[in-house]
Chain A
Amino acid sequence: MSVLVFIDTNEGHVKKASLEAMTYGAKVAEQLGIAAEGVVVGTAKDDLAALGKYGVKKIHHVNNPALDHLDAQVFTKAIAEVATKTGAKVIVFSNNVDGKSIAPRLSARLKAALVSGAVALPDTSNGFIVKKNVFSGKAFANISLNTDVKIISLNPNAYQTIAGEGTAEVVIADVTIDTPKVKVTAVNKVSGEVPLTEAEIVVSAGRGLKGPENWKIVEDLAHALHAALACSRPVADAHWRPHNEHVGQTGTAIAPTLYIAIGISGAIQHLAGVNRSKVIVVINKDPEAPFFKAADYGIVGDAFEIVPKMTEAVKKIKG
């Protein structure tokens, strides 16, 4: 019996979200008194044995370059076979783009109850109940998983990675690999930047910046903090910023440890995408801006004066 963690890679490197998933999976395994194992699909460039420090004892590697790009159908079949062979009781995914593609398929294939967007460890005192985000971060639901095999898709940044000691045994998984039907013809990366959904710190700006030509101060602050950039919807709609930076109800939902909102009013639809952030800082010249109600720290003032000062202060404190 095992807790099986899907270890997600990006160009062969293990994603940060998967380190969280492994740490979480190891903890679930401990709760259940069984071992945590992992499954990697596609070419891996990292040392998989070293992932043992996140608590996985054994890694099943479906080592086939045909699977370097996601085809959820083919991945699902391979992972399902590993899960069955290892007698997986709980299968853990990160609720990132790949997790959202594969976990539901696996749920239907194995008829295993799925909770997506989990934010805490299962409560096993009476059944198997997992807390998840609902209503776009405005509430939680405690979901009872009522099947023998269970799937948990963990929200990125919801569980802290802990690195300990240990190495994992790496085995090549002997599973069926179908020919992918989804053929990836181009990959367009926003190079050199921190992916928004994985970022610990996000610097975001809204219509208060007046125009795209003013974004330099926002970029400088983000750069000083090693942060990802985000924006409000009207900013993306007006093509001031690329669409992939749009956060909120209809854009990307994020949960960084620090979210800095500059010149954003804090409409409920915007908050829906960012209210899971651990700490929120709001810079807005209007003391009545609704965002202050959701903020931990705030400065009432002109972004054009405050943001450059903040960048300087960050540079100073970081040395």
Chain B
Amino acid sequence: MKILVCISKTPDTTAKIAFTDNNTKFDTSGVQWIINPYDEWYSLVRAIELKEADASTVIHLITVGTADAEPIIRKALALGGDEAIRVNTANADSFYIASQIAEVAKQGGYDLVFTGKETIDYNGSSIGGMVAELLELPYISLATKFELGGNKATVTREIEGGEEVCEVNLPAVVSCQKGVAEQRIPNMRGIMAARTKPLKVVEPSAADTLTAVASFELPPPKAGVKLISPDNVEELVRLLKEEAKVI
């Protein structure tokens, strides 16, 4: 079993969101970078668990990004995984990133490609599906459970108002979210081991970009909360009906 886990770098969840260059660039000053939580907590940990269950499993991590993504991919390696691949290019758009991942996946002959549900900065929820299409593989998105039995995966995925269980023969692409695994904290042994694990840098393949960010904007500030006395709950309900018109 050979698994490719897609790892992206995102600003820390508490990072201040601001923009520069006439609102065309994210202001990275003072921003702490983390592994995208969906990649770290769910897909990576589930891959590690599969390796713990079957030692012949090989896990490769991939990130598409410039050299400043290296601390992130090393941190991911400290959690687990055998080697990492960094495609050395700036992130242009989802299709471009997906094309890079698909190219590496094609050459590596993986049984399984894991992505996170979405990046918490771009919120695309797109790259897994694009990679699957480029590889002409089945895609199961928003997995909440993932089990392997030989060459068959049994995956529980979210649907509106519930979940469904599905089966698919590998190879396949799966996007992971909460439920697939439990968050782990890297230990000292993992951190030491990560230093010597191979981190291959490959140059990007030719690929198109289909979109561009024209500008960013912040939502207008809230008007401020209207406080209602705890002795007058009926007034709140009246306001919701007559003023806000939401009930």
Contacts and interface: CB of A to CB of B under 8 A. Distances in A.
A132 B19 CA distance: 16
Contact of A258 (B17, B133, B144, B247): B247
Interface in A104-143: 104-109, 111-117, 127, 129, 131-136, 138-143
Contact of A195 (B132, B133, B139, B161): B161
A275 B123 CA distance: 14
B240 A279 contact: yes
Contacts, number: 282
Interface residues of A, number: 101
A249 B13 contact: yes
Interface string B23-64: 000000000000001100100000000000000000000000
B124 to A, nearest CB: 5
B129 interface: yes
A186 to B, nearest CB: 4
Interface string B214-240: 111111001101111110011011111
Contacts of A115: 211
Contacts of A188: 162-165
Interface string B132-147: 1110111111101000
B138 A250 contact: no
Contacts of A71: 138
A71 B167 CA distance: 11
A216 interface: no
A274 B209 CA distance: 31
Nearest to B139: A72
Contacts of A186: 164-165
Given A109-B133, A135-B121, A97 B158 contact: yes
A107 B217 CA distance: 25
Interface string A57-87: 0000000000001011100100000000000
Contact of B233 (A108, A190, A295, A310): A310
A15 to B, nearest CB: 7
A214 to B, nearest CB: 18
A209 interface: no
B230 A135 contact: no
Nearest to A189: B162
Contacts of A181: 138, 168-169
A301 B216 contact: no
Contacts of B121: 134-135
Interface stretch (A30-38, A40-48, A144-152): A144-152
Contacts of B162: 187-190, 195, 244
Given A250-B41, A279-B240, A298-B226, A135 B17 contact: yes
B179 A294 contact: no
A33 B98 CA distance: 33
Contact of B159 (A139, A187, A201): A187
A257 B246 contact: yes
A173 interface: no
A297 B226 contact: yes
A76 B137 CA distance: 12
B230 A305 contact: yes
B133 A76 contact: yes
Contacts of B8: none
A242 to B, nearest CB: 10
20 contacts: A107-B133, A109-B133, A111-B95, A117-B123, A129-B214, A134-B123, A135-B120, A187-B162, A195-B160, A196-B161, A249-B13, A249-B120, A258-B240, A258-B247, A269-B13, A281-B236, A292-B225, A297-B227, A305-B230, A310-B233
10 shortest interchain CB distances as A-B pairs: A104-B129, A301-B230, A195-B161, A113-B210, A108-B133, A189-B162, A104-B126, A313-B237, A105-B133, A309-B233
Interface of B: 11, 13-14, 17, 19, 37-38, 41, 94-95, 98, 120-130, 132-134, 136-142, 144, 154, 157-169, 178-179, 208-219, 222-223, 225-230, 233-234, 236-241, 244, 246-247
